[in-house]
Structure 1
Amino acid sequence: MTRPALYDTHCHLHTEVFDKDRDDVIARALNRGVRRVLAVAEDLDDAWRLLDVADRWADFVVPAIGIHPDRAPLISDGEVAEVELLIRRHRARLGAIGEVGLDHRPRWDDAARARQAEVLRHMVRLGNELDLPLSVHSRGAGRHVLDLLADASCQSAVLHAFDGRAVHGERGAAAGWSFSVPPSVVRSRQKQKLVPRLPVGALLLESDAPVLGPQARARNEPANVALALSEMARLRGEDESGLTGVVEQNTRRRFPRLVPPVSR
């Protein structure tokens, strides 16, 4: 029987911080059992860079294209349209639409938050049309993201590094969304409270590399999703090997283009 593999469902492996040693980073990930990563873009320029990296490391990097909520208030409708066109053009190779979402840190005023919501609704409609899941950012906005996804009838979404209350996580899981857990779970009390409260079928892994690693302020890598898996198993009192298989199946259901077909 083939050993279950790990999948990093949200990272930024295409960014400049990995330019000097990307091959080594990938080798370390493969050595820890990570078969593939879903790398997410934050705007148009970032998407072009990601597509280039995905071409060069096609066996390991699956691309996703979106508009990050920190970018949404700063870009024009024209750039939103260009991002949509790029998503449509590369639909067959994309694993998801992302990174998209809401960010309610104090830096953003009501007008900026309204723009974030407008762009997210646009991306929900596009994801529904193209049958692509969304990788959703929700920093400081967990309840608001869940409200918007439900109101917009989003068909498929993953709450990446969800920082909301466990009760809101339970609500999201009941609505059918997934939750990707980063290596920072080893040091985050909020995530340590969240993980045991979620149904096992809602759990995925992510690194969010180069951030959200097991050590604050140190560069994170996709290999560290193995640490996230171990901590998830500990928090839930479950066998790590068995949980690996369940999370792999969860990933296959949510991101079918990320997980290779099962060989017969």
Structure 2
Amino acid sequence: MIITDTHTHLYSEAFDEDRHDMITRAIAAGVSRFFIPAIDSTYTERMLQLEKDFPEHMFLMTGLHPTHVKDNFKGELEHIEGLLKSRKFYAIGEIGVDLYWDKSTLEIQKEAFNHQIKLAKQYKLPIVIHCRDAFDEVFEVLESEKSDDLFGIFHCFTGNLEQAHQALSYNMKLGIGGVVTFKNGKIDQFLNQIDLKDIVLETDAPYLSPTPYRGKRNESAYITRVLEKLAELYGVSQEEVAAVTTENSKHIFGI
């Protein structure tokens, strides 16, 4: 059984003391494909080292996280453009809009989001979207860029059924992680109305640990809890969920 974690920050400082052991645990649990989203230029070297240490398992993205869109964001975008010219990446992400932490940067967040979507189209890459308290704003940008060459993943989807269908209308898959195991997560109430072919698995490690690890550091091995929950919701085997969601990830990332 091959399990794909489509979103995990394995380069995070949270793993500095046991990164190798943590990744080895995940591989032992069946997770053999790890897609690594970017945050900003300060993490680039860590990401490249991760790929060097586990070349058969790590697939890197590049991008500017919306919470890191600051006054210097144009310099950050130039860094991304330089990276795209120099080597292979599998997605532009994570990108989007976050109004939970700072509403004052909305306009430059949208500008950065839009610019990175255009880069994704230029390089024929998927986008991986971060959306927090900002569905309307994210959908506004996606609507303006809607086309056959816009596709990707709506990371950590936490919306309602209507928002799920709207996200899918932009050629997105829904990234489902630990929230689906929460008692108050709500998405478990309608998720089985979404075709399993429209879903990918993720952890967002070290964040959003699934039950029973909620409140503790998340790690990629815990994706098996998400897998179990989806198998329960869809009434299929864990092997089928792993196979379908891995195939979905191959469709998005091209590998």
Residues 38 and 61 in structure 2, CA contact (< 8 A), matched pair in contact too: yes
Residue 95 of structure 1 corresponds to which residue in structure 2? Answer: 90
Residue 166 of structure 1 corresponds to which residue in structure 2? Answer: 161
- Calculate the TM-score normalised by the size of structure 1: 0.89
Runs of at least 5 residues in structure 2 that lack an aligned partner in the other structure: none
1:186: Cα distance to partner?
Answer: 0.8
SS at match of 1:62: strand
The yes-or-no answer on 1:237 pairing with 2:235 is yes
Residues of 1 paired with 2:47 and 2:119: CA distance? Answer: 20
The yes-or-no answer on 1:179 pairing with 2:177 is no
The yes-or-no answer on 1:206 pairing with 2:199 is no
Runs of at least 5 residues in structure 1 that lack an aligned partner in the other structure: 258-264
The yes-or-no answer on 1:195 pairing with 2:188 is no
CA, structure 1 residues 235+213, in 2 after alignment: closer, same or farther (shift >3 Å)? same
Residues 104 and 113 in structure 1, CA contact (< 8 A), matched pair in contact too: yes
CA, structure 1 residues 191+40, in 2 after alignment: closer, same or farther (shift >3 Å)? same
Residue 149 of structure 1 corresponds to which residue in structure 2? Answer: 142
Residue 228 of structure 1 corresponds to which residue in structure 2? Answer: 226
Aligned-residue identity in percent: 27
Residues of 2 paired with 1:137 and 1:239: CA distance? Answer: 29
Residues of 1 paired with 2:64 and 2:190: CA distance? Answer: 26
Residues 139 and 162 in structure 1, CA contact (< 8 A), matched pair in contact too: no
The yes-or-no answer on 1:23 pairing with 2:16 is no
1:190: Cα distance to partner?
Answer: 2.5
**62-71 or 163-172, which deviates more:** 163-172
Give 2:129's aligned amino acid.
V
Residues of 1 paired with 2:190 and 2:134: CA distance? Answer: 16
SS at match of 2:125: coil
- Calculate the TM-score normalised by the size of structure 2: 0.92
What is the root-mean-square deviation of aligned Cα atoms in Å? 1.7
Residue 57 of structure 2 corresponds to which residue in structure 1? Answer: 60
How many matched pairs? 250
CA, structure 1 residues 208+106, in 2 after alignment: closer, same or farther (shift >3 Å)? closer
1:241: Cα distance to partner?
Answer: 2.1
- Give the 4+ runs in structure 1 shifted more than 4 A: none
CA, structure 1 residues 212+75, in 2 after alignment: closer, same or farther (shift >3 Å)? same
